[in-house]
Amino acid sequence: MKYPIGIQSFEQIIEDGYVYIDKTDLVYKLTHEGKIYFLSRPRRFGKSLLVSTLKNYYLGHKELFKGLKIDILEKDWNVHPVFHVDFNGANFTVPGELEQKIRYHVSEWEKRYGLPCRKDELGIGDRFAEVLRAAHEQTGRRAVVLIDEYDKPILDVLDTDSGLKDRHRNVLKGFYSVFKVADSHLQFVLLTGVTKFSQVSVFSGFNQPDDISMDGRYETLCGITQDELRTYFSEPVRDMASVYHCTEEEMMQRLKGQYDGYHFSDNMTDVYNPFSLLNAFNKKSIRDYWFSSGTPTYLIRLLAHFRENMNELTGKYYRTEEFIDYKADVEQPLPMIYQSGYLTIKDYDMRRNTFLLDFPNNEVKNGFLTAIATSYLQPKKRVEGWIFDMLDALEAGEPDTLRTLFTSFLSSIPYTMRRKDDERERERYFQYTFYLILRLISVYTVYVEKQQSHGRVDCVFETPQYVYIFEFKLDGTADEALRQIEEKGYALEYVSDARTLYKIGASFSSETGTIGEWKCIELQRLTTNN
């Protein structure tokens, strides 16, 4: 089986015999039920392949669709003039790059339809409108416009001081305004991207597109569903099960936990990340493919300002207006985090019309938290080696080594990052720092702020041989922390547990930014041999 990893050309996938998941029935529905659409999906989710499929459909390449679902549905196969703009690949941090790219496309279209270049007389939007009019008149068919990654020119310069954000917004606004002026010459328009902007909207100059990003009819237009996984990939699942020495159903569960979990409407249909899933089948190995392919620079810049506790941000219900339209506000990054694919819908409360947001799967959770920790905690130090050292100490039952590792890690954080004037802010900083550290090393069972009958323990960490109960005090004492573990009975549920139990009380020092005191009580279980 050939996997189209990184191939976004519909014709190449079909002609070269790559596996193709047939969604052409949805393509037919999309093209016959509306006119101007906007679709937001995370990167590497198949948006460009969808655009390529639509391009070939409207160019009347019937032979490429032979045997697919649309082959039965479509009877006419009318050929339309297609105008395709792909903003991928260009570096829009370079001044003038956006204008140059758009001018090139419009100039080429003017040549195609025999129009004079009127750059000194008309704006770029008016020139494009003239092209659409000419295409309609010369072919007798209305035009199709496909814009891939419409938002990249803005995302590239988001949260920079270059002044290009407003410049790019105005250029795009003028370019897209053609969809209102030339409405009678348009058959179909689709704009794809990661983010739907609000206050920096480039859509205000024309009729608002139909946003199908959370439309239940098109929730599976990109990505791979559970049914599609079983239909198209039963053989590679079987092969991977053999490699991992497990049953096929167990392998399905592993793949689901690692790559599934996306939901794009209140229908809650499971959608797998296609890039990661295809890579896993190709390499016969479960790894973090999507996240390893690169975290967008705009998100890293955004997170540099972000000081909220991800534990508070995730696992909560939100109204759609809170996470759909991004307002270019670094203080409210939830829409950007959601639309970039790092959070997804996990439940829908119909009565309140709110959505539960959380990490879609293990790949995204681990990768995203590592990215935050690397940026927030130690931007100049590699975190991975420290994680392995922590795991070695936890697995070996070495609490003294844990103290050394915690202390060194926290000491490496610059003073400017942990300086807080308000006592409450200092406490929130240490809570957030501790949360990130524990999420980074959560290979085993870890409970952060675990609710028990007598209170909420800061952390319980379990390995096959050891249980660690942590209680931390900001500018307090280790004795106070241990006393709370005893008085609240945090260890009671582990009384009959055969593993060695460590009760660890520690204090954070807001002055030094690291561990102040650390005390550990070890409880070993007695075993008898019969």
Q: Is residue 302 a contact partner of residue 195, using CB atoms and an 8 Å limit?
A: no
Least confident span in 14-23, 403-412, 437-446, 462-471: 437-446
- Stretch 523-530: mean pLDDT, rounded? 50
Residue 135 has pLDDT above 80, yes or no: yes
User: What does residue 10 show for φ and ψ, rounded to 5 degrees?
Assistant: -60, -45
Q: For residues 408 and 306, state if they share a domain.
A: no
Tens-place pLDDT, residues 352-396: 999 999 999 988 887 787 777 766 655 445 666 788 888 899 999
pLDDT given for residue 365 in this prediction: 84
Reported as half-sphere exposure (CB side, CA atoms, 13 A), residue 220 has a value of 20
Percent of the chain with pLDDT over 70: 82
pTM for the full predicted model? 0.81
Tens-place pLDDT, residues 73-101: 999 999 999 999 999 988 998 999 999 99
The most confident of 268-272, 469-473, 514-518, by mean pLDDT: 268-272
Residue 109 has pLDDT above 80, yes or no: yes
Residue 526 has pLDDT above 50, yes or no: no
Q: For residues 144 and 39, state if they share a domain.
A: yes
Tens-place pLDDT, residues 52-73: 999 999 999 999 999 999 999 9
Distance CA 374, CA 207 (A): 42
Q: For residues 438 and 352, state if they share a domain.
A: no
Q: For residues 212 and 237, state if they share a domain.
A: no
Q: Is 388 contained in some domain? A: yes
Answer with the residue of higher pLDDT: 6 or 437. 6
| Domains contained in the chain, number | 4
Q: Is 265 contained in some domain? A: no
User: What does residue 421 show for φ and ψ, rounded to 5 degrees?
Assistant: -80, -35
Q: For residues 323 and 439, state if they share a domain.
A: no
Q: How confident is the model at residue 525 (pLDDT cuts 50, 70, 90)?
A: low
Residue for token pair 């328009």 = 189
Provide the CA 460 distance to its chain's centre, in angstroms.
29
Distance CA 489, CA 189 (A): 63
Distance CA 323, CA 338 (A): 7
Q: Is 3 contained in some domain? A: no
Q: For residues 63 and 205, state if they share a domain.
A: yes
Please write down the long-range contacts of 350-354, taking CB distance under 8 Å and 24 or more positions apart.
350/266, 352/317, 353/319, 353/320, 354/317, 354/318, 354/319
The residue out of 364, 387, 411 marking a domain boundary is: 364
- Stretch 238-243: mean pLDDT, rounded? 97
Distance CA 326, CA 446 (A): 33
Provide the CA 232 distance to its chain's centre, in angstroms.
25
Q: Is residue 224 a contact partner of residue 277, using CB atoms and an 8 Å limit?
A: yes
pLDDT given for residue 425 in this prediction: 64
Q: For residues 281 and 329, state if they share a domain.
A: no
Tens-place pLDDT, residues 322-341: 888 766 555 577 888 888 88
Q: Is 374 contained in some domain? A: no
What does 415-450 look like in DSSP terms, one character per residue?
HHHH--SSHHHHHHHHHHHHHHHHHHTTTSEEEEEE
Distance CA 106, CA 125 (A): 9
Task: Give residue 463's domain range.
Answer: 379-523
Provide the CA 346 distance to its chain's centre, in angstroms.
14
Q: For residues 197 and 134, state if they share a domain.
A: yes
The residue out of 364, 398, 413 marking a domain boundary is: 364
Percent of the chain with pLDDT over 90: 52
Q: How confident is the model at residue 163 (pLDDT cuts 50, 70, 90)?
A: confident
Indicate which CATH number applies to the domain containing 148.
3.40.50
Q: For residues 76 and 205, state if they share a domain.
A: yes
CA-to-CA separations, 382 to 354, 375, 414, 432, 515, in angstroms, rounded: 39, 10, 15, 19, 21
Indicate which CATH number applies to the domain containing 387.
3.40.1350
Q: Is 403 contained in some domain? A: yes
Amino acid at 461: F
- The 3-class SS string of 377-406 reads CCCCCCHHHHHHHHHHHHHHCCHHHHHHHH
Q: Is 2 contained in some domain? A: no
Q: For residues 197 and 234, state if they share a domain.
A: no
Residue 246 has pLDDT above 90, yes or no: yes
Q: For residues 97 and 151, state if they share a domain.
A: yes
pLDDT given for residue 306 in this prediction: 58
Q: Is 432 contained in some domain? A: yes
SS3 193: strand
Q: For residues 47 and 188, state if they share a domain.
A: yes
Q: How confident is the model at residue 530 (pLDDT cuts 50, 70, 90)?
A: very low
Tens-place pLDDT, residues 274-301: 999 999 999 999 998 987 776 666 666 6
Q: Is 229 contained in some domain? A: yes
